[in-house]
Amino acid sequence: MLGVIALARPDAMDEVLETLRGYPGARVGVSPPFPARTDAPRALRLARAALATTARSVTKVRVFSASPIAAMIAADPHEAERLTDDVLGPVLHLAESDRDVILETLETYIDTGGSAADAAALLHCHPNTVRYRLRRIEELTGRSFTRPNDMAELAAAAYGLELTRIAQHRGT
């Protein structure tokens, strides 16, 4: 589902998301809030990016990050693909079931601001399971979640992966 919603109050986003999550079977991509109508095309692109990262068989409301890193990555899909391959290449070569679990954990960890406990709650697993998966990402990529540059690269690659999925979904 894609659409545009005008918010009467800036704090209404949580209410909108809660309402969307209440629809059975909903797969929804949501952009970050935008202040001007002229930002609508960019917001639509980011909402599509969020939707493209959700499996067709999954009921989920996915919000594309308001991060400036995500916006920069969205500006150049080819660079996003290169970055994704460079940073997450070893993860992308795992068996599909392992790869999907690891990538979902990475994305959820980033979306929750780096909280293993919050990520675990959303993933319906124990925080130690999230920590184990994060250590596996570190081992595979050679990057550490404790080093700011490495974390920025991992986050940028995760956003790049979202855009790569869009390109693959569109057949480009």
**Residue 2 resides in a domain:** no
pTM of the model: 0.66
- For residues 57 and 90, membership in a common domain is answered with no
| Residues facing residue 62 across a β-bridge | 29
| Predicted pLDDT of residue 172 | 44
Q: Are residues 79 and 65 in contact, defined by beta-carbon separation less than 8 angstroms?
A: no
Report the b/e string of 97-135 with b at 16+ CB within 10 A: eeeebbbbbbbbbbbbeeebebbbeebeeeeebbbebbe
**Residue 166 resides in a domain:** yes
Could you give the 3-state DSSP secondary structure of residue 29?
strand
Low pLDDT (below 50) residues in the chain: 170-172
- For residues 84 and 49, membership in a common domain is answered with no
| Predicted pLDDT of residue 61 | 78
- For residues 81 and 146, membership in a common domain is answered with yes
**Residue 1 resides in a domain:** no
What's the CATH code of the domain at 146? Answer: 1.10.10.2840
Amino acid at 22: G
- For residues 81 and 135, membership in a common domain is answered with yes
Q: Which domain holds residue 95?
A: 75-170
